[in-house]
Amino acid sequence: MAKGKPLESGESILTGNAGRAQVRFSDGGLISLQPNTEFKIANYADEADPKQDRFLVDLLRGSMRAITGLIGKRNRENYKVTTTTATIGIRGSGFSVGYNPDGSLGITTELDGIEVCNAGGCVGLTAGESVRVISPTEAPVRTNVRANVPTPAPAQDVVVAGNQTTPDGKPSVVPPPPPPPPPPPPPSPPTPPPAPVKQVFTDLAATVVFTDSATTSPAVESYYPEAGVAVLTSFLSGKPIDFDSVDSRDVRTQFRSTPNLTTMEKGTLGVPTDPDFVGWGSWITGQKIVAGLTTAIESVHFVMGRPTPTEQLPGSGMQGTYQLAGGTAFSSVFGAGQLTSGSLIANFGCGCEGVGYGSVNLTTRFGGNDYMLNSNVDINYSKITGSGTNVAGFFAGNNASRAALVYNLTPGTGPA
């Protein structure tokens, strides 16, 4: 018989001296046959119908273990194991049965309960109980001896390394070393940095100072988002990059750095959405584009921020003092320098609403020498302008908490 061969009603199985067999039924039942056993499938039908189901088998010699399937659970009257001395019915799901050398029969319940019957009567058994049946006409007798169903010995090769030992108990056959572990997987590639995010704001002002490349003339210009004027300030990952303005005649003025320019400065106080945000930057070279006409510019420095609303400005007679918090290195016809210190004193609302005055003091350093800028400024609400237009900017934040300025130092007082 081949493993996996299907069986039909009426077929028998015989095992030899060392033979064993397992029979699995379609209802989930299992029969395990021991050596020297003769077993017959008398009538098997799995119809999923308690009235049509049948599980009738014969154990003619030898021994077996049985686990009941669905047929025995659906209708226990249709589940019978017949032997030469008794018939076994079930109320549960597991039992063992085997012939003894004297011809008697031993039966043991493994799970739940069974009923053993012959011409002499019936005996019910629960899990763990056993009976002995001597003949077909004598009633089954309870016993403490379990059914004679031998347990198979574990298979073992003739020579097993673990059994070969030295006098001191150590293995005489040394197993080969285990194979080397597999190499570790390659490291995961680094996570790429997030792509920079561009933002455009329409409520920020921009003030810029630059030099016309053709005329070398300096200029200071301011652009405010007010009636008839739109200002678009652009940021990349929170840092200012460029800005546009569209006036009441729909003329667009654009400030752009030279394409592919990598040398530039950027700085901020806060983030662009903060009410008191101030940002600044500079380009070595750039472009001013008015109505599509481009002018080359250089030494470009700018500030951006949200001007303080009129209702949030300090009251009349108030004074504010501001100290340098950040800025760009100043540009000079002699080369680059440093902005080392700066302050602004502002007097608000002096005699007329929104009108005030102040003074700016800046110190720049070039070639080991310090150069001073001292300038009076006018205050018109949030706007700051200087005499001779060499200083311009604005206040930002509630109560004008911050000030943003650009400046131009004319020749004669130091580097410009």
Three-state SS across 17-56?
Answer: CCCCEEEECCCCCEEEECCCCEEEEEEEECCCCCCCCEEE
Does any domain span residue 225? Answer: yes
Does any domain span residue 224? Answer: yes
Does any domain span residue 414? Answer: no
Clarify whether residues 98 and 244 are in a common domain: no
Clarify whether residues 132 and 225 are in a common domain: no
d(CA 327, CA 403): 12
Does any domain span residue 46? Answer: yes
Of 94, 119, 95, nearest in space to 107 by CA: 95
pLDDT of residue 159: 47
Residue pLDDT, tens place only, 289-311: 999 999 999 888 999 999 999 99
Clarify whether residues 301 and 377 are in a common domain: yes
Clarify whether residues 252 and 319 are in a common domain: yes
What is the maximum alpha-carbon separation in the chain?
139
Counting Cβ atoms within 10 Å, is residue 183 exposed (0-12), middle (13-18) or buried (19+)? exposed
Listed in order, strand segments (DSSP E) in 83-238 are 87-90, 94-99, 105-111, 113-118, 121-126, 130-133, 141-143, 198-201, 205-212, 218-223, 230-236
Does any domain span residue 164? Answer: no
Please identify, among 111, 143, 175, the residue that sits at the C-terminal boundary of a domain: 143
Clarify whether residues 282 and 384 are in a common domain: yes
Please identify, among 76, 108, 143, the residue that sits at the C-terminal boundary of a domain: 143
pLDDT of residue 355: 86
Of 108, 110, 104, nearest in space to 123 by CA: 108
Clarify whether residues 228 and 375 are in a common domain: yes
d(CA 97, CA 105): 7
What is the Cβ-side half-sphere exposure of residue 236, based on CA atoms within 13 angstroms? 8
> Domain with 73 in it: what CATH number?
2.60.120.1440
Clarify whether residues 116 and 205 are in a common domain: no
Residue 196, phi then psi, degrees to nearest 5: -60, 145
Does any domain span residue 180? Answer: no
Of 355, 331, 327, 356, nearest in space to 343 by CA: 327
Give the residue carrying structure tokens 């609403």: 353
CA distances for 157 relative to 23, 163, 170, angstroms: 27, 11, 20
d(CA 366, CA 415): 8
Q: What is the pLDDT along the chain (416 residues), one digit of tens a residue?
A: 667 788 888 899 999 888 888 899 898 888 999 999 999 999 999 988 888 989 999 999 999 999 888 888 888 888 888 998 888 887 667 899 999 999 899 999 988 888 889 899 999 888 889 999 999 999 999 999 998 887 766 555 544 545 556 666 665 656 678 899 999 999 888 888 877 788 889 899 999 998 888 877 888 888 988 877 888 888 887 788 889 998 888 889 999 988 877 667 788 999 989 999 999 988 888 889 999 999 999 888 999 999 999 999 998 888 899 999 888 887 766 566 788 888 999 998 776 777 888 888 888 887 778 878 788 888 899 999 886 557 899 999 999 999 999 888 764 443 33
pLDDT of residue 416: 30
Please identify, among 143, 158, 174, the residue that sits at the C-terminal boundary of a domain: 143
Clarify whether residues 390 and 278 are in a common domain: yes
Clarify whether residues 105 and 36 are in a common domain: yes
- The first and second tokens of residue 62, run together, are 């030898």
Clarify whether residues 203 and 137 are in a common domain: no
Clarify whether residues 389 and 259 are in a common domain: yes
90 within 8 A of 56, measured Cβ to Cβ? no
Looking at the structure of the chain, the number of domains it has is: 2
pLDDT of residue 413: 42
How many CB atoms neighbour CB 341 within 10 A? 14
pLDDT of residue 312: 92
pLDDT of residue 333: 61
- The first and second tokens of residue 182, run together, are 């597999």
Does any domain span residue 168? Answer: no
Question: Could you tell me the residue range of the domain that residue 21 belongs to?
Answer: 12-143
pLDDT of residue 415: 32
Does any domain span residue 282? Answer: yes
Clarify whether residues 246 and 362 are in a common domain: yes
pLDDT of residue 277: 93
